[in-house]
Structure 1
Amino acid sequence: MPLATNALTSEQTDKYWEEGFLFPLTVLPEDETAEIRAELERIEQDWLTADLPLPLNTYKRVNAHLVIPLAAKIALDPRVLDVVEGVLGSDIMVWSAEFFIKEAHTDHVVGMHQDLTYWGMGETPDQVTAWIALSPATVESGCMDFVRGSHKNPILPHNDTYSDTNLLSRGQEVAVDVAEEDKTHIELAPGQMSLHHGLTIHGSGPNRSDDRRIGLAIRYLNPNAKQLVADRDYALMARGTDGQSNFVHVEPPRDLFSDEALALYDQVRRDQSKALAEGAKSSVPLYAAQ
């Protein structure tokens, strides 16, 4: 499959808006993807026992683009942005980037849910998530499952399960039964990407494979999106211009976990927690303000 170097074709864009997702899109060559994975795993090894203010996993899972230059570099890669432009247009901002990792032979899952339930932005169409595989995402390793056309629903009721095996912050799950036959398995090779809408019902199963399942989820917005719950929200300008000023602009980190980056991370985490933990009956440690 040729590398994606241009915006989506009109047929691909139409398919995304009809189905609520699009895959597979090859954005990075396999050898480069292997180097990215190796760099991430070096970071994990070098910083696991470091004296950071928060656990390393929190920085990987929430706003990694603010403290890990590797995450910001991928999020700002023109090969990725060329694809995203086909959905959002030429003005693109990064709202968050998150490493989702399931260790080999573990029961961790992601409950079926809609992302926009927890973003504080209502049902805005001005967003898309790009999920880039850094290791094989297969049914065996717990690839994502999407429900075709489910983005045409409003935000549906969700339940917070606080399950120990659910990788989401509250173990959240949509309060409707999703039949197995309604799921599309989003299998991706390393370097391939999927796109999905924030209202698309999706989740993933356990990793039964011998390898880690590693993905980077990048949440992109165009400037028409707006934070409706938190008093302030933040975004990294990736392409074009922001004519709305709905978000405070941030810069990518120069160094891993620098004092400046950690201070910004703490500020963003405090301000976003009002939206990301809204309605929770218990604390949400991943997003709890410090």
Structure 2
Amino acid sequence: MKDTVGLITQEDKEFYKQNGYWISPVLFDEAEIEAMRQAHDRVWANDYDGDGYPLGEWDGEPKSLRKIDNTWWINDVIRDTVTNPVLGRIAAGLMDSTGARLWYDQIIYKPGTGTGKKDSVSLGNVGWHQDYIYWQCTNTDNLVTAWIALQDTDLSNGCMSVIPGSHKWGLLEGSDGFFNRDLDAVKSRLEGAGRDWKEVPMILKAGQASFHHSLAIHGSGQNYSEHPRLSIVAHLMPDGTYYKNRGHNVDNIRLLGSRPKEGQLYNSEYFPLAYSEKADS
């Protein structure tokens, strides 16, 4: 994996601050991409490293989107990818933080329809949503997601699209549309008066990553190709993030203990440090 010295500039940070997303150069080489694709295959075949307990969401329908959270617990290649200090350093720079910790990871498998025809509501769609609607048990919305493409990815195979500037709209009611496959219906709910709804596709080469703010509205449409669209996703938070009880808690809070305490830091082995500025000093 490439070093990020000179990779992310102040101009990049300003672009992210204004738009809520940023696209990296290619970060992973062909051998690393192939290893990550093989890691996908192993996970879907229930061939695990160690004894972790990932959280899978798939209805068994071949045309449906597949997603597993906390895959880093059960695959060493994915663990090394999502905790890589290069990703961590980029995330810390975008968050204006001295360090970045892994919040959790995902692998996503968007099956191809192979038809070239648009389905009215594709089973592989990811509805428009804001990540932070699910993450309100953190004290800050200053989290960033790194979405790593394991093949060239564009609208033909269901790339992610982002609404630039939507991270400035605040947390929106009804922005929990991840599993609502009717993209138009969710859009009509979120677009709102006076909001500039412009959909920008995250067109990536294999090995590139897109980074987006936890309040940036994003989603993805149908994969028209004959091959699945594969990705590895790292959700990262500033070092020093702590538990805030807002009544919207993801499953990962159980890793703080049976009764998490207000102000308790997410700093255990379950939230590994991907990058610290101190290590560079």
The TM-score normalised by the length of structure 1 is 0.69
Contact 1:92 / 1:221 at 8 angstroms: preserved in 2? yes
Match of 2:265 in 1: 246
Q: Residue type of the partner of 2:4?
A: T
- Indicate yes or no: 2:21 matched with 1:5: no
Q: Which of 90, 97, 100 matches 1:92?
A: 100
Q: How does 1:1-290 map to 2 (within 5 A)?
A: 3-6=2-5, 8-45=8-45, 47=47, 61-88=68-95, 89-105=97-113, 107=122, 108-121=124-137, 124-158=140-174, 165=181, 175-177=189-191, 182-229=198-245, 230=249, 233=253, 246-251=265-270
Relative to 1, partners in 2 of residues 1:64 and 1:86: Cα closer, same or farther, differing over 3 Å? same
Q: CA deviation at 1:197?
A: 0.2
* In 2, Cα distance between equivalents of 1:235 and 1:245: 11
Contact 2:149 / 2:205 at 8 angstroms: preserved in 1? yes
Gaps of 5+ in 2: 59-65, 115-121, 257-262, 273-281
Contact 1:126 / 1:225 at 8 angstroms: preserved in 2? no
* In 1, Cα distance between equivalents of 2:187 and 2:138: 18
RMSD (CA atoms): 3.8
Contact 2:126 / 2:180 at 8 angstroms: preserved in 1? no
Contact 1:8 / 1:83 at 8 angstroms: preserved in 2? yes
Relative to 1, partners in 2 of residues 1:164 and 1:223: Cα closer, same or farther, differing over 3 Å? closer
Tell me, what secondary structure is at the counterpart of 2:190? coil
Q: CA deviation at 1:135?
A: 2.2
More helix by share: 1
Tell me, what secondary structure is at the counterpart of 1:216? strand
Q: CA deviation at 1:34?
A: 1.8
Q: Residue type of the partner of 1:135?
A: Q
Tell me, what secondary structure is at the counterpart of 1:215? strand
Q: CA deviation at 1:125?
A: 4.1
Match of 1:256 in 2: none
Tell me, what secondary structure is at the counterpart of 1:249? coil
Q: CA deviation at 1:41?
A: 1.1
* In 1, Cα distance between equivalents of 2:209 and 2:176: 28
Gaps of 5+ in 1: 237-243, 254-290
Q: Among all aligned residue pairs of Structure 1 and Structure 2, give the percentage whose two residues are the same amino acid.
A: 24
Contact 1:111 / 1:172 at 8 angstroms: preserved in 2? yes
Contact 1:123 / 1:199 at 8 angstroms: preserved in 2? no
* In 2, Cα distance between equivalents of 1:73 and 1:234: 23
* In 1, Cα distance between equivalents of 2:178 and 2:160: 20
Q: CA deviation at 1:57?
A: 5.2
